A = this chain, B = another copy of it.
Amino acid sequence: MAKNFSTLRNKMSAQAQERATQLTQQHIQEMPLHELRQARGLSQQVLAEILNVQQPAIAKMERRTDMYISTLRSHIEAMGGTLEITAKFDDGDVKISNFSHI
């Protein structure tokens, strides 16, 4: 007889259940800037006001596939976040600190 997910999960130790929950929470979403803005509940107009630019500048910025790191940082900080730049290698990840304090 097939076992359902709850039955299997209940057989896991408390520690294993906790670990599985943490792994799920660690799964990071990936999205473009305009989706991130929408996910934060912000309009282009509101973001434009925070950054002291016109709304079309936000629209244009969200279509770009390359930009200065400082520009991206300002954009993300205007949404209430912080920018993190990571170099990923087979044997580990390294945060790049050159751009931490512009």
A66-102 vs B, Cβ < 8 Å mask (1 yes, 0 no): 1111101000100111111111110011111111111
Q: Residue on B with the closest CB to A101?
A: B65
Q: How many residues of A contact B (CB 8 A)?
A: 46
Q: Which 8 A-B pairs have the closest CB atoms?
A: A15-B15, A30-B95, A81-B87, A84-B86, A76-B87, A66-B70, A81-B89, A30-B97
Q: Could you show 29 A-B contacts with beta carbons less than 8 Å apart?
A: A15-B15, A25-B92, A28-B92, A29-B92, A29-B93, A30-B97, A30-B100, A31-B97, A32-B97, A32-B98, A33-B96, A36-B87, A65-B98, A65-B102, A66-B69, A67-B68, A67-B69, A68-B68, A69-B69, A69-B72, A72-B96, A80-B89, A81-B94, A82-B88, A84-B86, A84-B88, A84-B93, A85-B85, A85-B86
